[in-house]
Structure 1
Amino acid sequence: MKQDDDALDTLVRKRIRALRVALGWSLDDLAARCYLSPSTLSRIETGQRRIGLDQLTAIARALGTTLDQLVETVDDEDVVIRPRHDESRGVSTWILSRGPGTQGVTVARMRLTKPARPDAMNAHPGHDWFTVLSGTVTLLLGERRIVVETGEAAEFSTMIPHAFGSDDGPAEILCMFDHDGRRTHLHQAP
């Protein structure tokens, strides 16, 4: 357990320094913002001084982050995002956000190889958003058939029955789904 505590302590110190440097701040700049002396901050960053909770809170606030973000442990054993293939739907999916993002939004990259099918249209609460990275995508939205080209984006209410797929060859899209969109569009990928 002591080794884990030491690793987290070292990580927090590195984060403090990295955030300070990323903001272009000197020790004096950060010290003025969190009401600590530059020498205290220097000793905190280098591990020559223990960090008090009150100091850590002030430092996090000054750096524009939260205490939770500053001390969170990160499981970075596997940082590679591998695709999930669903051959029957003609979709490969890379879920780019680990866990629910801001307000439950999930970001995914999808490679579509089959056309949109009217019998696959679905409706659910919320909104979907996608931008076409390559190829052409057909969006079936209610009674409409909308062609979305490379570089274009679409945003629509998902209460309207909808489906999307590639048009004339593979297409790649970057999507944002709310909770219901994630459940509807991503659940079928194995």
Structure 2
Amino acid sequence: MDDPTTDTDAVLAAVGPRLRALRNQRDITLSDLSETTGISVSTLSRLESGQRRPTLEQLLPLASAYRVQLDDLVGAPRTGDPRVVLRPTKRHGLTFIPLTGRAGGLQAYKMILPVAPDTPVPELRTHEGYEWLYVLDGRLRLILGDRDLILTPGEAAEFDTHVPHWLGASGPHPAEVLALFGKQGERAHLRTGPRP
């Protein structure tokens, strides 16, 4: 089991070099910093060299003087940010916006499917996994094996991706789809009401 005291010591030991680097980047003398913060030159020097452990009373004015967050000054680990960073990618003409950040397991995407050219039978694809689709906007054409389906907003479909399939917008506008994709054997279930 990790010793939290050791972790704290390591964090505080790294503050000195960080303080010195900030002061050098900003081309500030110890005397100028002392005037700004009210901390003596000798204390600032000992903090930068690691001969003295910083206290909160010292770190707050230093963070203010350098105009940095206190977390950045001490190198605190980032807390989990619940927001999903949406970095769209394009594949096979489709735009995928990932809605999950972890690797493996069930993956969620918002997909934007462009208006498809009028092709009687587009090229069907297969791959490993299982997919669940929910139409948010537009009309989705789903060709699944020998079935040719049109799904409208609010409709969902799920299928084994070993079955040859193709997705595209049907109509004059792109289709927006929420997609859950999992490795083979993982299935998503949509329940619209209580079980009998």
What is the TM-score when the length of structure 2 is the normalising length?
0.48
Structure having the higher helix fraction is 1
